Amino acid sequence: MKKNLVILSGAGMSAESGISTFRDAGGLWDKYPVMQVASAEGYVRDPELVINFYNERRKQLLDVEPNAGHTGLAELEKDFNVTVVTQNVDNLHERAGSTHVIHLHGELTKVCSSRDPYNPRYVRELKPEEYEVKMGDKAGDGSQLRPFIVWFGEAVPEIETAIGYVEKADIFVIIGTSMNVYPAAGLLNYVPRTAEVYLIDPKPVDIHSMRRIHVIQKGASEGVKELQSLLFTPL
């Protein structure tokens, strides 16, 4: 029987593909005040600025490709029941071939209702030629289309789904996340005591956990390559 392998990925997963991380020096938070472009209040204050910010993020997806880390995780589906729980809003896991991806913070390629953001009736996937959302573009309920992104201060609707998979994990892998953003950072608390835990990150990450963690201090591509060999070698 295949083991359950759950991956928690963050911005460092996509950094090698050329997608700006938010928290690192020179990242997006240095260029934009976070609450201006990633909060409901910022959206109410200046919806056009926020919509254009995500239009630019969306168009960036046309110029980037999944990296070897993404494809390496997709390859693990041959031998494991793989669930990717990602804090990233890009579609690089899917494009690399991962078939079960839970997006905690929303999806850049989708838009939704401003009035009722999580109503599935009004969530839709944009084709690349539709990536430029404009003021006046309406959702099915007549409200302005907004990015399908979970902003600061909003509930994270997929967290309970993610917890359900984490609780059944035989192996839990953390890749490229600072473990500072909740509720995602709290998922480690739901990992069974019997599960193996791996952390892939080129920089030291303070995890605040007493449990044994196998650290691979490398970027996503090299780290996933090492993970692949370790998973088939008894620790």
DSSP symbols for 136-155: T-B-TTSSBEEEEE--BTS-
186 is in an annotated binding site: no
Would you say 22 and 11 are in contact if contact means Cβ atoms under 8 Å apart? Answer: yes
Confirm if 160 and 208 have CB atoms less than 8 A apart: no
Q: Residue 89, annotated ligand binder?
A: yes
Q: Is 206 annotated as a binding residue?
A: no
216 is in an annotated binding site: yes
Residues 6+ apart with CB under 8 A from 133: 51, 54, 55, 111, 126, 145, 147
Q: At a CB cut-off of 8 Å and minimum separation 6, what does 68 contact?
A: 16, 220, 221, 224, 225
229 among the known binding-site residues? no
Known active-site residue 105: yes
Strand order in the sheet with 214-216: 101-103, 80-86, 3-9, 171-175, 196-200, 214-216
Nearest to 112 by CA among 125, 126, 122: 122
Annotated ligand binding at 81? The verdict is no
- To the question of whether residue 87 is assigned a binding role by annotation, the answer is yes
The strand ranges marked E within 73-195 are 80-86, 101-103, 106-113, 124-125, 145-149, 171-175
Q: Is 106 annotated as a binding residue?
A: no
> 172 labelled as ligand-binding?
no
* Active-site residue identified among 70, 93, 103, 105: 105
Does the annotation place 142 within a ligand binding site?
A: no
Cα 19 to Cα 173: distance, rounded to the nearest angstrom: 21
Is 10 labelled as part of a ligand binding site? yes
Residue 9 annotated as part of some ligand binding site = no
Catalytic residues: 105
Which residues are part of a known binding site for NAD(+)?
Answer: 10-29, 87-90, 176-178, 216
Extract the annotated binding site.
10-29, 54, 57, 87-90, 176-178, 216
> Which residues define the annotated binding site for substrate?
54, 57
